[in-house]
Amino acid sequence: MAQAQINNTDLPPKERRYFGTDGIRGRVGVWPINPEFVLKLGWAVGKVLARQGNGKVLIGKDTRISGYMFESVLESGLSAAGIDTHLLGPMPTPAIAYLTRTLRAQAGIVISASHNPYYDNGIKFFSAQGTKLPDAIELAIEEQLEQPMTTVDSAELGKAIRVVDAPGRYIEFCKSTVSSDIILNGMKIVVDCAHGASYHIAPNVFRELGAIVMEMGVEPNGLNINLDCGATHPEKLRQHVLAKKADLGIALDGDGDRVVMIDHQGHILDGDELLYIILKHKMANGHFNGGVVGTVMSNFGFESAIRGMGVEFVRVPVGDRHIMSELTKRQWHLGGEPSGHIVCLATATTGDGIITALQVLAAMRHQNKSLADMRNGLMKFPQILINVSVNQPDFSIEKPRILKAVKEAEKALGNTGRVLLRRSGTEPLIRVMVEGENESRVKELAEQLADVVRDELGS
């Protein structure tokens, strides 16, 4: 059945002024991603946490140049509120979630804009359990931000120390998420770390498990994070896999919570395909109960394959917050997005690119199959996604001409296909997605719909 959808649900709730679907994110130097606001944000977080107890807060970051600045002001704001900080330096987002839990911190703070370019940055938070902050805490922080900033007595100021063994702790944790019989000896892997937070982590994880590792994207300079590399741009990795005759390639994004993989034939496997491989392996071993959570972007062919295996499948809006919420509500353990953000709650509390890759590698080793063979049985529908830049915060995608164009595209698709328009919750973009059986027709309809959106924007 053809589906058309206008989706605004990944925008931040209207009652929130600062927090979006994944913390607070924007252009560096433009409010609220500037030193003045982030200083007060650190103080507000500290004041709210001080009412809950008096534990330490971890601060980690990715490799973008503005991380130095925001690390310093966050530490200062927390200190002014009387909170001690432990500085982790560059670490993947999921590593900070893990360390927040195991170091018994009261909260963890990540300075990262994930897959965005270097000139963006953001602040996101983890609870003591390594999960997203509860809504009530985020709202309390927003309320505290409206109060004048004060400083505790000098004797009560927070202290800061640097945690020097954070990378080693996380590397060992990643290795522990697969059984001890998983040895990657003889496997030739190209690992692209996107010049991001995993540059000193991911290659060591796979190498210590026995793989022959060739590194890409491991020379961060503060400006090259996600630049034509990593999970959002896997084309160069694909070329290296083919040129080096590698068994596969692994591409992470700037903060290490997303992954896509390349098989030895050069095919790019997105999150849907990786999720399919993990699910199929868990079912074969009798280790799967419940269902799978996808998003509005999940491929219809993927959904059909999941349901064909007798597994319940539920779609939620884009964003790991929505996936986690649905998994928790249903007491399920597996969900993800085509972008490569996959949640395996049996092993981690948040999406983790390295751990996802390890789950796929474990399935390959147990079944003695190549990555190309592991995806057999999944027939994806052609899906075209076009991003349209928008510089009007209040622009509505529910304009009559846009709605009419969506209905016309839906009609043209016939009985099988989907049309989805949504505003990104992390970037100033409107995403136009069309999915159907005929690739050339799908592409044509997506371009037509994107042109209508551009015309309405006046661009």
User: Are 342 and 351 a contacting pair, CB within 8 Å?
Assistant: yes
pTM as predicted = 0.90
First-to-last C-alpha distance (Å) of the chain: 33
Residues forming the active site: 114
Higher pLDDT, 46 or 16: 46
Q: Is 150 in the same domain as 79?
A: yes
Assigned domain for 363 exists: yes
Q: Is 287 in the same domain as 375?
A: yes
Q: Is 62 in the same domain as 158?
A: yes
Q: Looking at 134-148, 183-197, 201-215, 424-438, which range is the least confident one?
A: 424-438
Q: Is 64 in the same domain as 152?
A: yes
Tens digits of residue pLDDT in 236-252 = 999 999 999 999 999 99
Which amino acid would we find at residue 141?
I
Count of Cβ atoms closer than 10 Å to residue 447 Cβ: 14
Distance CA 325, CA 367 (A): 32
Q: Is 155 in the same domain as 50?
A: yes
Q: Is 433 in the same domain as 398?
A: yes
Assigned domain for 22 exists: no
Q: Is 412 in the same domain as 429?
A: yes
Distance CA 42, CA 74 (A): 5
Query: How far does Cα 347 stand from its chain's mean position?
Result: 16
Assigned domain for 179 exists: no
Tens digits of residue pLDDT in 408-442 = 999 999 877 899 999 887 788 999 999 998 999 99
Final residue before a domain boundary, out of 267, 288, 309: 267
pLDDT at site 6: 60
Query: How far does Cα 154 stand from its chain's mean position?
Result: 39
pLDDT at site 63: 98
User: Are 398 and 6 a contacting pair, CB within 8 Å?
Assistant: yes
Mean pLDDT of the chain: 94
Which amino acid would we find at residue 348?
A
Q: CATH number of the domain that 211 lies in? A: 3.40.120.10
Secondary structure (H, E, C), 226-257? CCCCCCCCCHHHHHHHHHCCCCEEEEECCCCC
Tell me what percent of the residues of the chain surpass a pLDDT of 70.
96
Which amino acid would we find at residue 284?
A
Which residue in 195, 190, 427, 412 sits closest to 318, CA to CA? Answer: 427
Final residue before a domain boundary, out of 360, 380, 400: 380
Q: CATH number of the domain that 429 lies in? A: 3.30.310.50
Q: Read off φ and ψ for residue 110, nearest 5 degrees.
A: -115, 125
Query: How far does Cα 165 stand from its chain's mean position?
Result: 25
User: Are 61 and 90 a contacting pair, CB within 8 Å?
Assistant: yes
Assigned domain for 15 exists: no
Tens digits of residue pLDDT in 375-416 = 999 999 999 999 999 988 889 899 999 999 999 999 999 877
Q: Is 198 in the same domain as 128?
A: no
Taken in order 267, 270, 273, 279, the sign of the CA dihedral is positive
Query: Is pLDDT at 13 greater than 60 in this prediction?
Result: no
Q: Is 339 in the same domain as 284?
A: yes
Final residue before a domain boundary, out of 239, 267, 295: 267
Assigned domain for 226 exists: yes
Q: Is 419 in the same domain as 320?
A: no
Q: Is 244 in the same domain as 147?
A: no
Assigned domain for 5 exists: no
In what side-by-side order are the strands of the sheet with 107-111? Answer: 24-27, 120-127, 107-111, 57-61, 85-90, 160-162
**Residues 198-202: contacts with CB under 8 Å, at least 24 apart:** 198/92, 198/252, 198/256, 198/353, 198/354, 199/63, 199/90, 200/90, 200/167, 201/91, 201/92, 201/95, 201/167, 201/170, 201/171, 201/174, 201/256, 201/354, 202/250, 202/252, 202/256, 202/353, 202/354
Q: Is 244 in the same domain as 277?
A: no
Assigned domain for 47 exists: yes
Higher pLDDT, 51 or 10: 51
Tens digits of residue pLDDT in 325-358 = 999 999 999 999 999 999 999 999 999 999 999 9
Count up the domains in the chain and report the number.
4
What is the domain extent for residue 218? 185-267
pLDDT at site 319: 87
Distance CA 143, CA 138 (A): 9
Assigned domain for 25 exists: no
